Structure 1
Amino acid sequence: MSFERIKEKLNILADAAKYDVSCASSGSTRANKNKGLGNSSGMGICHSYTEDGRCVSLLKILMTNHCIYDCAYCVTRKSNDIKRAAFKIQEVVDLTINFYRRNYIEGLFLSSGIFKNADYTMERLIAVAKKLREEENFNGYIHLKSIPGASDELMREAGLYADRLSVNIEVPTVSGLKLLAPDKRYEDFTKPMLKVKNEIIQYKAEKKIIKSTPKYAPAGQSTQMIIGATGESDKDIMYSATHYYQKYHMKRVYYSGYVPVAEDKRLPAIGSQVPLLRENRLYQTDWLLRFYGFHVKELLNNQHPNLDMDVDPKLGWALRNLHLFPIDINKAPKELLARVPGIGMQSVHKIMNARKFRKLNWDHLRKIGIALNRAKYFMICDSNKWEKRDLQADTIKGMILQNSTGKFRKEYSNQLQLFDKMAV
């Protein structure tokens, strides 16, 4: 096949893959061996972000944008009038190897529309990964999208070649899925998730006994939800995310704002794209649940079903719970320190270590790196300054927003850019 035809396919199928944001390659440490090609821990062109903030580059494409389903939110839906294309297995292998040799990429993110049936499509994705590993001795990062409805046997095989597997739940609720993707069943998504979870547990247990046991999906599994295609509240979204973290041991849940791709009476009107700020607030909430000890019911509940777009979720929680503040920065336990707006987990550890040697004052806290423009309203320290504590939540919120410096605004701008890059 001519170079021009391969280039045309690449343009079509790379563009179609851009709507999937669940491609951060965190958690894998597949080492190079036997003088093979690639290493998943290397540095390179930045296309995606790992869990620890490292940038990696991935060849991110669909195997094909042909699909037997007609999901309302999907650009590759069968009724959508778009240009179609499909890669052969060897073409994807060759592209990956050639791109790697030119230092364009560090790995592969491979998804696909569903053609014929789920198992047939999944077999082709696995065939690409198998050829890369066994024939090309490729040790770089591979992320395979699990096809909803794929058999347990294929999911088991996929995890032996891929670093990460993911199946996108797409719509946060079962009712939303029935509305926008009536051809799909909820069980088709959760069955592969459960298989991957159980296989990871089994292989880890076996490796403790038999050291030669191969790795199975060492970077775990992830999923993605489309935000704003249906009327779910932030509460609905984060309760669903919490369910997937707990029941299926997800490494990450990604939140992708709905992008209008076709006219459909079931969907928001063209031009009503979900604000990127809402995605950002959901990611911040996700972070608080995973690393700061918050329970989802503390942040979102029937009284507060949606996040405040003006302030981050930790500040929003603190303003609703002023009866818990101020805390003494020199006496409070780690769990309470982590709940003070403007104090991150690194700063919490610095405070815990520093106060072993002396009482901390505002100058010490400023040097540690705490955002005092927010934190000062919720704590006291070894100082006589700022001890007035009769302010109301609305007053504090207004003062923080009014006194936000350019640096504070830049922080949120950088966060938005980060999540935007994650969608590349």
Structure 2
Amino acid sequence: MEQTLQEKLKILADAAKYDVSCSSSGNNRQNTNGGLGNALSCGVCHSFTDDGRCVSLLKILMTNHCIYDCAYCINRRSNDRPRATFTVQEVVDLTINFYRRNYIEGLFLSSGVIKNPDFTMERLMLVTQNLRLKERFNGYIHLKAIPGASPELIRQAGLYADRLSVNIEIPTEPELKRLAPEKSFGTVLQPMNQIKEGIQLYKEERRKFRKTPAFTPAGQSTQLIVGATPDSDRQILQLASGFYHEQQLKRIYYSGYLPVNEYDKRLPALQSPPLVRENRLYQSDWLMRFYHFRADEILTPEQPFLDLDIDPKLAYALRNLHLFPVDINRADYEMILRVPGIGVQSAKMIVDARRFRKLNSYHLKKIGVVLKRAQYFITCNELPVYRGNWDPGQLKNHLIAECHTKRKKPGDTQLSLFPLIPALSAPAKQLHFKS
């Protein structure tokens, strides 16, 4: 029996929820020639459903039919589940109609591999081509590049999509061959390299010719599944670091393995996705991207897995107590960034503010430093080294216990937002800098 468009949408929107690598646009695409919509670099405002789907993008698969039988995938060919396939025009019509009703701000389009990679990639490319040229749609489009597809199809897709992504899924090639024997790192890296080279070529041509057509202006991304294999967090972070430096990826997404194919004995017997581990990997990824950490500083051969009890920045500080305390009034920006409780903006403000006077703890509070954590790793003006003779284990336990003490007491009616700032009851003070 022929499926209705609504039935297809229900099946293929649900199947797309396992791909987490949808993001804000990071790209300015202006509305031209009376077209429809635009894309702003501030991105698509995300709204998430309970199962993690982003509803501000039309997030769907072109098809959930697939010629591959990957152990970790819900859409593997051996699974008995409802299948559906959109036509090119159906995806175009859904995108335009949903956009005009203000349901969405862009399109996230992925797909299972039907027939062969070229056939699938051509369908995806035609969707973006029709949206841009026929419908004059200027909104955000994130498209999956299919490993194994011809370079010409990847190139054409990059001319119409804002962002392309190629999901590598498994961090090491031996485990990829074990769980997905029909795939290889080579087929994934080939389109990644092509997209990187296309972006570099566009930037070079843009310097010479202002009207050079944009190629994947929002860059490329990928996704790694966490917990489906025994690979360590160190292996995952080393791979991610290599992608950022060699492939120049914009983002890497970490997806906690969902036990959707429990009958496959190659997969671990997990009852729920490793969400805490996933969160720690995102925090580590943030450290590499914005805090100038290297992967081998976050994890070592002796400690290949992230500590699930504390964030990786605090774990680094406890592992390297010989580098602390940091003198806030003398240390360089790179070292201040490594202090737990100090973020990127706070570190910049500290460096700017100390040009005018020596900073003390009051100034640091005003700047936004989390002194409850930072005080054990810094010294400034009147603030002494606060950790005493504690060893790393004792300090870790103390900080964990301190977090637990902030829980609501049985008699409390409301949590206090400022339990440790009694000065708030006094007249407000001003932060003055000497010229």
TM-score by length of 2: 0.89
Aligned to 2:191: 192
Q: What pairs with 1:16-415 in structure 2 (closer than 5 Å)?
A: 16-41=15-40, 46-47=46-47, 57-262=56-261, 263-269=263-269, 271-384=270-383, 387=386, 389-404=388-403
User: By how many angstroms is 1:57 displaced?
Assistant: 1.7
Aligned counterparts of 2:315 and 2:361: Cα–Cα separation in 1: 23
Matched position secondary structure for 1:272: coil
- What fraction of aligned residue pairs are identical, expressed as a percent? 58
- SS at the partner of 2:178? helix
State which drifts further: 381-390 or 86-95.
381-390
TM-fit CA distance, 1:288: 0.5
RMSD: 2.0
Structure 2 residues not aligned, in runs of 5+: 49-53, 409-414, 416-435
Structure 1 unmatched runs, 5+: 49-54, 411-424
Q: Distance in 2 between matches of 1:56 and 1:85?
A: 21
2:420 alignment counterpart: none
Structure number with higher helix proportion = 1
CA offsets per residue over residues 173-202 of structure 1, 9 Å max, x none?
101110000011221111000000001101
Shift in Å at residue 385 of structure 1? 5.2
Counterpart of 1:305, as a letter, is P
Deviations, residues 246-268 of structure 1 (Å, cap 9, x unaligned): 22111111100000111201001
Contact 1:255 1:279 in 2 (8 A): yes
- Size of the aligned set, in residue pairs, is 402
Q: Structure 1 stretches (4+) deviating beyond 4 angstroms?
A: 42-45, 384-388, 405-410
Cα displacement (A) at 1:389: 3.8
Q: Pick which of 395-404 and 158-167 moved more.
A: 395-404
Q: Say if 1:45 and 1:56, in contact at 8 Å, map to a contact too.
A: no
Contact 1:65 1:76 (C-alpha < 8 Å) held by counterparts: yes
Cα shift at 1:26? 3.6
Query: In structure 2, what residue type is equivalent to 1:314?
Result: K
Q: Kindly indicate whether the alpha-carbon contact (under 8 Å) linking 1:25 and 1:143 is maintained by their aligned counterparts in 2.
A: no
Letter of the 2:232 partner, please give it.
Answer: S
Residues in 1 aligned to 2:405 and 2:15: alpha-carbon distance in whole angstroms: 37
Task: Report 1 or 2 for greater relative contact order, CA contacts < 8 Å, sequence distance ≥ 6.
Answer: 1
The offset of 1:275, in angstroms, is: 2.1
Cα deviation, 1:352-375, whole Å, max 9, x if unaligned, reads 111111111111111111111110
* SS of the residue 1:310 aligns to: coil
| 1:405 positional shift | 6.2
Which residue identity does 2:300 align to in structure 1?
N
How has the CA–CA distance of structure 1 residues 94 and 407 changed in structure 2, closer, same or farther, with 3 Å as cutoff?
Answer: farther
Q: Judging changes above 3 Å, is the alpha-carbon distance between structure 1 residues 231 and 197 closer, same or farther for their aligned structure 2 residues? A: same
Q: 3-state SS of the aligned residue for 1:60?
A: strand
* Gap change, CA 1:248 and 1:408, over 3 Å in 2: farther
Alpha-carbon distance in structure 1 between the residues aligned to 2:100 and 2:45: 13
Q: Normalising by structure 1, what TM-score?
A: 0.91
Amino acid in structure 1 at the alignment position of 2:295: V
Instruction: State the 1:391 CA deviation.
Output: 2.0
**Aligned partner letter, 2:118:** D
What's the offset of the Cα at 1:15? 0.5
Contact 2:361 2:383 in 1 (8 A): no
* CA pair 92-408 structure 1, distance change in 2 beyond 3 A: farther
> Does the residue aligned with 2:149 lie in a helix, a strand or coil?
coil
Label 1:11 to 1:56 Cα distance change in 2 as closer, same or farther (>3 A). Answer: closer
